[in-house]
Amino acid sequence: MTTVLATTDDLPELRAALDRRRELGLDLYDEVWEGVYRIVNAPGPRHAAIQATLLAILEPLAEERGIVALGPANIGVPDDHRIPDACLVEPSVIGTSAWLERAELVVEILSPDEPSRAKIDFYAARAVAEYLEIDADMSDASLWALSSDAAPQLVDRSGVLPELDLATLRERLRRR
């Protein structure tokens, strides 16, 4: 993967390319990290299959708790946001804005070469209660309890979805 850091002042054609990307609908997964625009491609087939499996597991558990399971969503604000592969939110958080202030639980499925927990501090600062990370290559899952004033804690059981069994989740992922 090639990384290019440039501003639209340095490369005026970059603004046109980003506008064209938006027009074509190719920017759905793009993120902005503290003002730095990151181009992110749509997930590949294996990643998408894991995402579908996770949503099938999470949705009924979330519904029982009165919370909403979503696929990718913008967490943050326009100039600083991340897009998890799935998230669970209180119904009151969903409004007409494209941006969610927080989520109860976010799911990140690691792409090849993506560092583990790269987004965990961002989510903790936005009052996300839990971070579920899936390593697609290893078919493994880790769950972290988050707090804005303490280090993330690896946990075995979800406080958001106490019925979520990580051992069963790992087994279902390994069958993919």
For residue 141, the SS3 value is strand
For residue 131, the SS3 value is strand
Task: Tell me the one-letter amino acid at 164.
Answer: L
Give me the residue spans of the domains in the chain.
1-42, 43-174
Whole-angstrom distance, CA of residue 36 vs CA of residue 59: 32
pLDDT value at 5 more than 50: yes
155 to 17, 139, 166: CA distances (angstroms): 43, 18, 10
**Chain centroid offset of residue 138 CA:** 18
Instruction: Render pLDDT for 99-130 as a digit per residue (tens, 0 to 9).
Output: 999 999 999 999 888 889 999 999 999 999 99
pLDDT value at 37 more than 70: yes
Say if residues 108 and 81 touch (Cβ distance below 8 Å): no
Whole-angstrom distance, CA of residue 35 vs CA of residue 16: 18
Whole-angstrom distance, CA of residue 144 vs CA of residue 171: 19
State the burial class of residue 86 (Cβ atoms within 10 Å of its Cβ: 0-12, 13-18, 19+).
Answer: buried
pLDDT value at 9 more than 90: no
Whole-angstrom distance, CA of residue 157 vs CA of residue 152: 14
The arrangement of secondary structure in 43-174, i.e. its CATH architecture, is Alpha-Beta Complex (3.90)
